[in-house]
Amino acid sequence: MVPAHGRRAAEPVYRPILASRRGELDALSHLDPAAAPMLAPILEVGAVDRATVDVVRRLPVGMLPAVDVSALPDAPDTELARWGVPLVPVIGLAESDRRLAAHGAAARAYARRALVRLRAGQDRAGPDESTAAVERIWRFTGLAPEECDLLVDAGDVCCRADVRLAEPRVRRLLDWARRHAWRSVTVAAGGMPPTLSRLPTDEPVRLDRWDWQLWRRLVDAGVGYGDYGVGPAVPGTGDPGDRLPTVRYTADGGWWVYRWSRRGGRGDDRFADLCRTLVSAPHWPRTGAAFSWGDHELLRRARRGAGAGSAANWAAWSTSHHLAHVLTALLHPGGDAAPGWHARPDPPQRGRSLRQSRGGESRRAG
């Protein structure tokens, strides 16, 4: 990993922003223990209950998640120090004085670390105003800049035009960030479209990973990588009413989206057909089921060794493969292939390649 701003290696190497839903949390809980210290998930919490806290407690040893409760009311149950779970609080620039104090208590109770999340699309203040905001954070939390990781969140980048607009904006924020002695600096973005319902069914469709392309253009800045997993960066989206069996399978520079609606037979048969198509595709890793827990589960369905599962299972298996794929790409920058297997090019004839327009509609790549 390139040291952040040329100082020291940033650990971990990957910060995915994930919703604290069953599928995403299942994928984290099945991560290879050897990879756990290299991944620091940022969990966006939409509700606080005992189950959420218990799942965070059961994450692999060595993984220290960051928890973002900014969408929740400023109440006692969102004071992370009360959870009794090792974690890193996520701090926004506009937090209340009370919540800043609570986040400072959580940081001191666990790892004496916090993550400051600067949203490029929302926090549009100038450099002096941003400096005043982070100085307020450090004052009310009692933390020093060296105890804070900075996340520059570019938000939704779903087409080439989005990348062109986001890059100079992010670079300006990185120029500002160099004024301060952050523990590390990471750039995150989300490239998955908010909806997949307009995509063709019963054939794999390739979508560009524009978030990955944005980060590749920023590699010279020496920043870490983050993304939104296989989900969209736009809050409240993600096809809640689309119940078609769906797998979002990460490959080199893109996702292969499988949405199966073939009629006839049982639901298990339909998903088995989807999985058989996937495991015979060129982007299926040569290590197959050994690549990740998600790949293992998908191969089991291809062989009719288990049922089709649910939308939460499909999200879990897709996320599991995605986490393994991204970690491999970051740790082996010469290519996205894991040790022992070699990535093969994704030929367009094995599926349809779509690019997203700014309005969210898909069109065939010309």
Q: What is the pTM of this model?
A: 0.87
Confirm whether 355 is domain-assigned: no
Give residue 362's pLDDT. 37
Confirm whether 364 is domain-assigned: no
Q: How far apart are CA 278 and CA 204, in angstroms?
A: 8
Confirm whether 344 is domain-assigned: yes
Name the pairing type of β-strands 352-356 and 148-156. Answer: unpaired
Confirm whether 357 is domain-assigned: no
Tens-digit pLDDT profile for residues 132-161: 999 999 999 999 999 999 999 999 999 999
Residue 2 vs residue 217, higher pLDDT = 217
Confirm whether 362 is domain-assigned: no
**How many independent structural domains does the chain possess?**
1
Confirm whether 50 is domain-assigned: yes
**31-50: b (≥16 Cβ within 10 Å) or e:** bbeebbebbbbbbbbeebee
| Domain encompassing residue 11 | 4-350
Confirm whether 119 is domain-assigned: yes
- State the average pLDDT for the chain: 86
Tens-digit pLDDT profile for residues 92-108: 999 999 999 999 999 99
Tens-digit pLDDT profile for residues 80-95: 999 999 999 999 999 9
Structure tokens at 24: 């995403």
Give residue 363's pLDDT. 33
Confirm whether 266 is domain-assigned: yes
Confidence of residue 304 (pLDDT cuts 50, 70, 90): confident
Whether 303 has a pLDDT exceeding 70, the answer reads yes
Give residue 69's pLDDT. 94
Q: How far apart are CA 88 and CA 64, in angstroms?
A: 7
Mean per-residue pLDDT for 343-358? 44
Q: Residues 54, 60, 66, 70: is their CA dihedral positive or negative?
A: negative
Tens-digit pLDDT profile for residues 241-288: 467 899 999 999 999 999 998 765 566 888 999 999 999 999 999 899
CATH number of the domain bearing residue 279 = 3.20.20
